[in-house]
Amino acid sequence: MREKILGLLLARGGEFVSGEELSKVLGISRAGVWKHISHLREEGYSIASQTRLGHRLERNSGPLNKYVLGHNLGTAKMGREFVIRHEVSSTNEVAKELARAGALDGTVVLAETQNGGRGRRGRQWLSPQGGIWLSVILRPGLELKDVASYTLLAGVAVALAINKVTGLKAGIKWPNDILIRNKKVGGILAEVFGEWQAVDFLVIGIGVNANLGEQDLPPEVMAASLSLESGRPVLPVDLIQAMLRELERLEQLLLAGKLSEVLAEWRSMAVCLNCAVVVKEHKEEWLAESIDIAEDGALIVKTADNRLVKLYSGEVSLRGSRGDYNFN
């Protein structure tokens, strides 16, 4: 019932809806409407009520809700189902289980916090309340060799969405770091399930430090948060919707055979191309120059003896003082 009320309030785009109308449509008494509205307020939704006018919802308030997220989303696939949890170990884990049980292409799993958030290669991803922690299930019907570009695609979607919603300039450091002013504000963990010839599904995990304060992450992580960078809170619904729209647009380009256009967007947001880097691979470190991104998602670097090498794994940091990242 409460979700229905949220849906009705949202459908009015921030206008007042009278208690009488709500009680008629929902088939409950006006006192019943009041009871649900006050419960919704207790859950954290900001609902203004005025005797003559009725009730009005502030759409970016309160816990995430599938009605709020689906309202005016405008995608055909991304977010056709939302699974929203308070706390999980990792949204990628939940997504994997749901996908195995048949969840639809485009299903999105969101959690307020993760107690076992994962980065790549078993690294930990800190996921306190206030961040956006989500995973998208995709079933593109491609072979393994054709899905490598999904990490790049997701990076572009996240960086663009941040730019659009906050006005902050986010950049991408290969393969999956989203940076603002040299600090990591988000990351992507793309996982593939299936066989060589037939990928069953992908789980694209996205973490963004949206509304985190100074104390929420330890200083040694060198992380940024969107709210600290912009000096105001980020509207989570707007950011999630923007990411899903960009993901859909970019995936459509990819599936239409226009990977080159996705790569062009990636290059335009890359933090470091044509710059000096330190490559860390298999416990070795060597100096190189980053040259370009390849269609298969590899970073092309030039070694000190002028050979072009494709990197598929490993870490790249910029050469310079303290190995800091720099924007081109």
Contacting residues toward ligand BT5, per CB under 6 A: 90-92, 114, 117-120, 123-127, 133-135, 176, 184, 187-189, 205-207, 209, 217, 221, 223
Please report how close the Cβ of residue 259 comes to ligand BT5 at its closest, in angstroms.
Answer: 22
Q: Which runs of consecutive H residues, i.e. helices, occur in 89-148?
A: 91-100
Instruction: Tell me the closest approach of the beta carbon of residue 23 to ligand BT5, in angstroms.
Output: 40
Please, which residue, 134 or 273, has the CB nearer to ligand BT5? 134
Reported in sequence order, the residue ranges of the chain that DSSP labels E, i.e. its strands, are 46-50, 54-58, 82-88, 108-114, 132-138, 171-173, 177-180, 183-194, 199-208, 275-281, 284-293, 299-303, 308-311, 315-318
The residue nearest ligand BT5 at its CB is 187
**DSSP-derived 3-state class of residue 65:** coil
Residue nearer to ligand BT5 on the CB measure, 10 or 206: 206
Q: Give the nearer residue to ligand BT5 in terms of CB position, either 70 or 186.
A: 186
Q: Which is nearer to ligand BT5, 55 or 166 (CB)?
A: 166
Letter string b/e over residues 32-65, b meaning 16 or more CB atoms within 10 A of that residue's CB: ebeebbeebeeeebebeeeeeebbbbebebbebb
CA–CA distance, 70 with 65 (Å, rounded to integer): 9
Contact 182, 326 (CB under 8 A): yes
> Residues 274, 328: contact at Cβ < 8 Å?
yes
* Locus of tokens 């890359």: 270
Shortest spacing between CB 21 and ligand BT5, in angstroms: 39
Quote the CA–CA distance of 244 and 80 in Å, as a whole number: 10
Q: Is the CB of 5 or the CB of 179 nearer to ligand BT5?
A: 179
Nearest distance from C-beta of residue 265 to ligand BT5, angstroms: 20
Q: Which is nearer to ligand BT5, 70 or 130 (CB)?
A: 130
**Beta carbon of residue 34, minimum distance to ligand BT5 (angstroms, whole number):** 38
Q: How far is the CB of 154 from ligand BT5 (least distance, A)?
A: 10
